[in-house]
Amino acid sequence: MGSGKTTIGKRLSSRLGFSFVDTDDLFTTLQGICVKNYFALYSEEKFREEEQKILYQTQNMDNVVVSLGGGTPCYQDNMRWILANGISVYIKMSAKALCNRLKNSKLERPLLPPDNLLERVESLLSQRENVYNMAHITVLGLDFDLEKLCEMIKNLN
């Protein structure tokens, strides 16, 4: 959360001439309710089940850059599925840098209450980092270079 997945994804898709899909936006469109409200009405577990269905739908999309929610790769076998069905990019940032971005974000994030933000981000990052590190490509979010990422993707194909 806050690493720039959507911004970088849109830039990458434009550079590659691909379509762009944000799974949180797709979730909101298909469910008729935003992620934060879905969490509140149901549960994170129920959200992750629905999110996984949306992830699997992306398999039928060609020439698309998909921006996933931060927890998506960490649920069940999602990362294995992601690695088998596309090129995964981890936008790596420190917890402190993420907090600085999140403090200025207008988006409400269900797993990040405003109090103890740094502590919560550090906790989520420590829980998720092993999965994130499985990505095909890791780029630094604070020193992001679109051309370098495009070259890395080209080298994997």
Q: Where are the beta strands (DSSP E) in the chain?
A: 19-22, 64-67, 89-92, 137-140
pLDDT attached to residue 106: 55
Report yes or no on 76 lying in a domain.
Answer: yes
Domain count, the chain: 1
Query: H-helix or E-strand containing 153?
Result: helix 146-156
pLDDT 10s digits, 43-91: 989 999 999 999 999 999 999 999 999 999 999 999 999 999 999 999 9
Q: What percent of the chain has pLDDT over 90?
A: 75
101: containing domain: 5-146
Report yes or no on 154 lying in a domain.
Answer: no
User: Angle, to 10 degrees, between the axis of helix 44-57 and the axis of helix 78-85?
Assistant: 10
What CATH number does the domain containing 136 carry? 3.40.50.300
Alpha-carbon distance 54 to 65, whole Å?
Answer: 14
Report yes or no on 54 lying in a domain.
Answer: yes
Binned at pLDDT 50, 70 and 90, residue 103 comes out as confident
Report yes or no on 51 lying in a domain.
Answer: yes
Report yes or no on 28 lying in a domain.
Answer: yes
pLDDT attached to residue 112: 58
The answer to whether the beta carbons of residues 1 and 109 sit under 8 Å apart is yes
Report yes or no on 157 lying in a domain.
Answer: no
22: Cα separation from own chain's centroid = 8
Report yes or no on 124 lying in a domain.
Answer: yes
Helices (H), 17-116: 23-31, 35-41, 44-57, 78-85, 95-103
Mean pLDDT of the chain: 90
Which residues, listed in sequence order, are joined to residue 89 by a DSSP beta bridge? Answer: 137
Report yes or no on 69 lying in a domain.
Answer: yes
